[in-house]
C-alpha cells in the first residue's frame, strides 16, 4: 500500500481531503504534518491518520526526512512557501535509485490574473488560460502569485524521478470539515478587508471576473488526480500536461463584494450592508486589491477530461444562506 504524506490537514481543503482519503483508501497509511498540537485525538480516531508529526513549514530537516519515507506527498498547505516545496522535492529525490515517487501540489489560479488592466472592469480581450494548452502552462513563472513553488515542482518533474501533478483551484468558499473552522485564503482575506477598511470594497465598476468554487467539489477531483497518478507508472507527456485548472462560476467582483457585505453586516463586522466602489489605490493592503482589479479567466479542458465538474451551490447563493443563518 502506498504511503501518503499530507501537508495542510487543518486547513479548508486539507480538512476535507483527509476524510476522503480515509473513505476511499482506508488501507493507505496517511501521515500528516501540522503545527496544531490539539488535534491528535481527532486525527487519529476520526480521520484514521496513521502517523502525526508536529512542526512548521520552516523545519526543513524534518520535512526532507518525512518526504524521503513516503511514496506520495500531497501539499495543500501552502502555494506560496518555496522552502516547503524545495524540502519536499529534496526528500523525494533522496529515495532509492529507480523508485518513482509522486507529488501532488495545490497551487491557485491567482497566477492567471490579467494585470494589463487594473481598473476593476472586465475586458473581453483578457487572456483565457487553458490547462490543456502546454504553451500556456509553460508561461508559469516565479513572478506569479503562486509561481515560486510551482516552478520548484515543475522543475522537479522535468528531472523525471518525481511524478508531479499540480491542481490550480480558483477562489474557494465553504466550510472546513473537522474541529478547526478554517476559512481558507479567499474567505479570510474578505474578512480581513472589512476589518481593515470598515466596508467591503470592489474596484471601479466591479465587472472584473472572479472565478470561484465550493470546497466540496475539490476533494473528489483530488482523488481523481491521485487515482490517475497511481495508474501512471510512467506519466505520459510533459509536466505541463499534468496541470489542472479547476473552477466554477464566473462572478463579477461587485456581486461578490455585495454578498460578503450583507453577510458581514449581519455578523456585525461592518455598519454598511453595501459594498463600495474604490480606485485600486484605496482598496488597501494584501493581495485582494490586486485580484479585484483585473479579470481572472481560464478554461478547464484537461481537468474536465479527468472528470472535473462543479455542481455545488454557487458563491452568491452560499453567502446568502450564511447571511440568513
Ligand atoms: N482558499 C482559497 O481560496 C484558495 C484558492 C486558491 C488556492 N488556494 C491554495 O490551496 C491550498 C489550500 O488552501 P486552503 O484554503 O485550504 O488553506 P488554509 O485553510 O489556509 O490551510 C492552510 C494549511 O496549511 C497550514 N500551514 C500554513 N502555514 C503553515 C506553517 N508555516 N507551518 C505549518 N503549517 C502551516 C495551516 O495550518 P494551521 O491550521 O496551523 O494554520 C493549514 O493546515 C493553499 O496552498 C492555498 O494557497 C487556496
Ligand atoms: C487548533 O485546533 C483547535 C481544535 O482542536 C482549534 O480550536 C484551535 O483554534 C486551533 N489552533 C490554531 C492556532 O489554529
Residue 100 DSSP one-character state: -
Check pocket membership of 212 for ligand 1, CB cut-off 6 A. no
**Cα 47 to middle of ligand 2, angstroms:** 16
Q: What's the number of domains the chain is made of?
A: 1
Model pLDDT for residues 213-225, shown as the tens digit of each residue: 999 999 999 999 9
Residue 233, pLDDT score: 78
For ligand 2, atom 13, the nearest C-alpha belongs to 36
Q: Where are the alpha helices (DSSP H) in the chain?
A: 12-24, 40-41, 60-68, 82-93, 134-137, 147-159, 184-197, 215-231, 253-266, 288-292, 301-305, 315-324
* Ligand 2 neighbours by CB, cut-off 6 Å: 36, 38-39, 179-180
CATH (domain of 123): 3.40.50.720
Residue 287, pLDDT score: 96
- Cβ-based neighbour number of residue 311 at 10 Å: 8
**Cα 59 to middle of ligand 2, angstroms:** 20
Residue 52, pLDDT score: 98
Considering every ligand atom shown, identify the ligand nearest to the alpha carbon of residue 54 and give its number.
Answer: 1
Q: Ligand 2 pocket: which of 41, 49, 180 to mutate (most atoms <8 Å of CB)?
A: 180
In ligand 2, the atom with minimum distance to the C-alpha of 42 is 5
Residue 325, pLDDT score: 76
Residue 232, pLDDT score: 85
Full residue range of the structural domain in which residue 41 is found: 4-324
Residue 139, pLDDT score: 98
For residues 223 and 38, give the distance between their C-alpha atoms in angstroms, rounded to a whole number. Answer: 27
| Confidence (pTM) | 0.98
The stretches in the chain having pLDDT less than 50 are none
Residue 10, pLDDT score: 98
Model pLDDT for residues 286-308, shown as the tens digit of each residue: 999 999 999 999 999 999 999 99
**Cα 96 to middle of ligand 2, angstroms:** 37
Residue 324, pLDDT score: 85
Amino acid at each position: 500500500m502506498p504511503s501518503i504524506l499530507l501537508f495542510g490537514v487543518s486547513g479548508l481543503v486539507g480538512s476535507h481531503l483527509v476524510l476522503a482519503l480515509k473513505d476511499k483508501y482506508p488501507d493507505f497509511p496517511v501521515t500528516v504534518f501540522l503545527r496544531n498540537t490539539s488535534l491528535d485525538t481527532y486525527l487519529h480516531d476520526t480521520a484514521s491518520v496513521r502517523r502525526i508529526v508536529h512542526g512548521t513549514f520552516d523545519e526543513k530537516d524534518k520535512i526532507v526526512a518525512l518526504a524521503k519515507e513516503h511514496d506520495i506527498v500531497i501539499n495543500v498547505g501552502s502555494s506560496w512557501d518555496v522552502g516547503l516545496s524545495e524540502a519536499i522535492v529534496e526528500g523525494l529525490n533522496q529515495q532509492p535509485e529507480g523508485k518513482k515517487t509522486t507529488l501532488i501540489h495545490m497551487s491557485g489560479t491567482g497566477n492567471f490574473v490579467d494585470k494589463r488592466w487594473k481598473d476593476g472592469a472586465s475586458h473581453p480581450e483578457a487572456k483565457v488560460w487553458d490547462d490543456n494548452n502546454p504553451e500556456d502552462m509553460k508561461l508559469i513563472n516565479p513572478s506569479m502569485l503562486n509561481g515560486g513553488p510551482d516552478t520548484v515542482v515543475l522543475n522537479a518533474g522535468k528531472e523525471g524521478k518525481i511524478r508531479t501533478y499540480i491542481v490550480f483551484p480558483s477562489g474557494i468558499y465553504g466550510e472546513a470539515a473537522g474541529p478547526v473552522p478554517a476559512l481558507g485564503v479567499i474567505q479570510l482575506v474578505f474578512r480581513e478587508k472589512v476589518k481593515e477598511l470598515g466596508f467591503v470594497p470592489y474596484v471601479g465598476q466591479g465587472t472584473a471576473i472572479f472565478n470561484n468554487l465550493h470546497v466540496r467539489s475539490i476533494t473528489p477531483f483530488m482523488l481523481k488526480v491521485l487515482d490517475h497518478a497511481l495508474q501512471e507508472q510512467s506519466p505520459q507527456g510533459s509536466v505541463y500536461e499534468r496541470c489542472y485548472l479547476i473552477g466554477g462560476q464566473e462572478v463579477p467582483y461587485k456581486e461578490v463584494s455585495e454578498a460578503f457585505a450583507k453577510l458581514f453586516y449581519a455578523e456585525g463586522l461592518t455598519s454598511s450592508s453595501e459594498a463600495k466602489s474604490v480606485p485600486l489605490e484605496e482598496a488597501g493592503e494584501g493581495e485582494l486589491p490586486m485580484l479585484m482589479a483585473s479579470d481572472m479567466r481560464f478554461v478547464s479542458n484537461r481537468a474536465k477530461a479527468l472528470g472535473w465538474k462543479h455542481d455545488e451551490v454557487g458563491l452568491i447563493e452560499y453567502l446568502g444562506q450564511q447571511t440568513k443563518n
